[in-house]
Every structure is written in structure tokens, then in C-alpha cells.
Amino acid sequence: MASSPQRKEANNPSADALLNATSALMTERNSVDVTFVDIAQRSGVNSALIRYHFGSKTGLFKALLERDAGGTFDNLDALVNAEMSAVEKMRHHVSGVIKTYFRYPYMNRLVGALSIDTESDMARFIAERFTKPLAAAQQAILEQGQREGVFRDIDPMLFHFSLVGACDHLFHARHSLKYAFGIEEITDDLRRRYADHITGILMESILLKP
Amino acid sequence: MASSPQRKEANNPSADALLNATSALMTERNSVDVTFVDIAQRSGVNSALIRYHFGSKTGLFKALLERDAGGTFDNLDALVNAEMSAVEKMRHHVSGVIKTYFRYPYMNRLVGALSIDTESDMARFIAERFTKPLAAAQQAILEQGQREGVFRDIDPMLFHFSLVGACDHLFHARHSLKYAFGIEEITDDLRRRYADHITGILMESILLKP
């Protein structure tokens, strides 16, 4: 019992190949419904190694979430603690959240699948590891803006849900984008325009009017 | 071939029981992963009748979407054509969208599941039947507000995605609400506060400043 299965993933080529294959399949299918067989086929790695590296599909999904989102929290901490106005921090934050969904469009569905399909311990873990720090950072920026006299008083929990939902939906609703608006691909330009749009909406609504 | 299987559902007790059971299961599980066996068990209706009434699970899901969302489009048309300011129309619209997700929290996931898991004809149908009319109504209200000189110029497509995503996310992310914020149930009061919050955010951001 020197190390848990989850620990073996780091810098291991077959574990990386499994994570990359899972990420690619979820992006292409716009869905988190991928099987061991799909992942093994795509990665060229024997599906027995999924169990070896990650214990289960849930373990693999959890490792993927950690890989994709885990690293962003150090940046978020740095942002919250930076010498910067709350307005600038909020702009950077919204742009960062949208970049994350642009890169990993399946992220919120992965969170949802892990929280529903597994025991509530996993939902609690995800809330502690991802949701709470994100909401706390947003609350800190909102409070800084109020101390600076530029933001109005706003419920940080409601703000959290509206920000995450608005940022995510363009990447989530690929079918709507394609069939209702004729857009097949989210280009870097569209991603930037959407970030500007969401930032504009959120900033306009929280800034105190002169 | 007097009528298609889908037509038989109207006012048929066993078809209604199947739709109600599916709706209840999706709400309770916060997921659209329900099987024929689940639906038959919950409804007390033999699963063979799913095929009889709806042709397939996809047919049942489509009928459920039509039942839940189909009726709202007449109201939306009436709203767009009403003698009312664009500001009032937009407030009513946001509140109506949130009420719909409050009542049918699985709606966007149902749209997603139908659009991904089935052939693109279904995704195109859903876009034509639901997404396009919704986006067109929003665009009409935005344009009215610009004619009235109260709304700024805003991209209606980006606005559509931000509005739908923001409205939906509280109901979608029940696990976050529970484990990150300790809220087990979305009460009518929370639903109203969220509607006020989203309306405030969107209205503040599209209103021209005096």
C-alpha cells in the first residue's frame, strides 16, 4: 500500500494516454458517455490498465477533472491576492472561466456525472475541491469591489450560478449553435467575443452607476 | 396509417402516466438517464406500451419535451406581440424561462440527450421547433428596446446563450447547491430570488445608461 492507484497516473505514459483519449472522446461527442471499450480503443491502451491506474471509470473521470481543472486554482488564488483592482480581477476571472470551458467543454457535465452517478461522497469531494474555492474567489472579488466603492451589493451564491451557467452554455449547447445558428465550430474569435459579451453583461450589472 | 404513434399520446391515460413517470424520475435523479424498466416500474404501465405510444425511448423523450416546452411558445408569441415596453417584455421573458426550468429542471439535458444520442435530424428538429423561436423572440424584444431607445446594441445570439445558460444553471447544478452551499431544495422563494438576480444582471447590462 505504498501508493494509491490514483497516484500512479503522474507522468505515466499509459495513464496520460487514457486521460487524453477520454478528453478527446468527450469533446468530439459533446457528451461524457464514454465506455472502457471506447477509451481503450482510442488510446491503444489495454482497458485493464484503466483499473490499474485509476481503479474504476469514476476514478479515471475524477483524475481527468483534477488534470483539467485542478491546475487553475493556483492561478485563481494568485488572481485574488494580486495587487489589482476588483474590476480587473473580475474581467480576468470571467475570461479564465470561459477559456477553461473552451478547452474542456465537457467539464461541467463531468462534474454532473460524477456527482450524480456516484455516492454522495464524490459530490461532496467535488464541491469541496472545486465549487467552494471557485465561489469563494468570486465572493472575495465582489467584496473587494464593494470596499473599493465600485461594485453594488450582490448575492455571491446567485452570482456564482449565473456566471458559471452563462460561461458554460455556449460550449454545452453545441447542437443549438450548429442547427439554430449554423455555426459548426467555436473558433478562438467566437470564444473571445463570448468572453467579452459575458464580461460586459456581468460587469455592467455589478458596477455602481456614477 | 390513420395516425402516427406519436399522435396517440394525447389524452391517453397510459401515455400520460408514462410521461409523468419519466418527468418525475428525471427530476428526482437530476439526470435524463432513465431506462424503459425504470419508466415501466414507476408508471405501473407495461413497457411494451412505450413502444406502442411513442415508438421508442427517443419518441417518448421528444413527446415529453413537446409536452413541457411546446405550450410555452404560444405565450412567448403573445408576449412578443403584446402592447408592452421592451423592458417589461424582457422581465416577463426571463421570469418565464426560469419558471420553466424550475418546473422541468431536466429540460436542457433532455434537449442535449436528444440532440447527441440520435441522428442529426432530431437535433435539427429541436433547433427548428424550440431554439430558433426562442432566439427569435429574444431578438425581437432586443430590437424593440433599441427602437424605443432604451437598450444598447447587443449580439442576439450571444445574448441567447448567456440568458439560457444563466437561467438554467441553478437547476442543473443541484449537487453544487447541496454540497457547496448546503441548500437541499430549490424553494419558490429561491426561484424568485434567482429570477430577480438574472433579470437584474441582464437588464442592467442591456439598458442604455442615461
Q: Which of B110, B161, B167, B204 to mutate to test the interface with A (most CBs of A within 10 A)?
A: B161
The verdict on a CB contact (< 8 Å) between A205 and B209 is no
**Contact (Cβ atoms closer than 8 angstroms) between residue B78 and residue B99:** no
Residues A36, A15, single domain; the answer is yes
* Alpha carbon distance A194, A170 (integer Å): 8
Q: Which of A176, A198, A204, A209 to mutate to test the interface with B (most CBs of B within 10 A)?
A: A176
The verdict on a CB contact (< 8 Å) between B179 and A204 is no
Q: What is the pLDDT of residues B102-152, one digit of tens each?
A: 999 999 889 888 887 656 788 888 999 999 999 999 999 999 999 999 999
Residues A103, A172, single domain; the answer is yes
CA distance B36 to chain A (A): 18
Q: What is the pLDDT of residues A68-112, one digit of tens each?
A: 998 889 999 999 999 999 999 999 999 999 999 999 999 988 988
* Alpha carbon distance B44, B84 (integer Å): 47
Residue B3 φ then ψ, to 5° = -145, 150
Give the pLDDT band of residue A1 (cuts 50, 70, 90): very low
Q: Say which DSSP state B130 is in.
A: I
* Alpha carbon distance B147, B150 (integer Å): 8
**A163, A175, A203: residue with CB nearest B123:** A175
Residues B129, B169, single domain; the answer is yes
**Contact (Cβ atoms closer than 8 angstroms) between residue A185 and residue A192:** no
Task: Confirm whether the ipTM is greater than 0.90.
Answer: no
Which percentage of chain B shows pLDDT scores above 90? 61
Q: What is the pLDDT of residues A10-35, one digit of tens each?
A: 568 889 999 999 999 999 888 888 99
Give the pLDDT band of residue A205 (cuts 50, 70, 90): confident
**B33, B169, B180: residue with CB nearest A135:** B180
Residues B51, B121, single domain; the answer is no
Q: Looking only at Cα atoms, what is the longest distance across chain B?
A: 63
Tell which of B63, B97, B112 closes a domain: B63
Please give the angle made by the CA atoms of B54, B171 and A155, to the nearest 5 degrees.
Answer: 165
**Contact (Cβ atoms closer than 8 angstroms) between residue B105 and residue B69:** no
Q: What is the pLDDT of residues B43-53, one digit of tens each?
A: 999 989 999 99
pLDDT at A117 (0 to 100): 61
What is the rounded average pLDDT for all residues in chain B? 89
**What's the CATH code of the domain at B185?**
1.10.357.10
Report CA dihedral (B185, B165, B71, B13) to the nearest 10 degrees.
Answer: -50
Q: Does B1 score more than 80 pLDDT? A: no
- In Å, what is the CA distance from A54 to each residue of A6, A23, A51, A65, A119? 5, 15, 5, 13, 17
Residues B25, B84, single domain; the answer is no
Question: Which domain covers residue A13, as residue numbers?
Answer: 5-61
**What's the CATH code of the domain at B52?**
1.10.10
Tell which of B21, B45, B63 closes a domain: B63
Residues B148, B57, single domain; the answer is no
Average pLDDT over residues B59-82: 93
Q: What is the pLDDT of residues B9-34, one digit of tens each?
A: 456 888 999 999 999 999 988 888 89
Q: Does A37 score more than 50 pLDDT? A: yes
**Contact (Cβ atoms closer than 8 angstroms) between residue B137 and residue B93:** yes
**Residue carrying the nine cell digits 487553475:** A72
* Alpha carbon distance A184, A65 (integer Å): 26
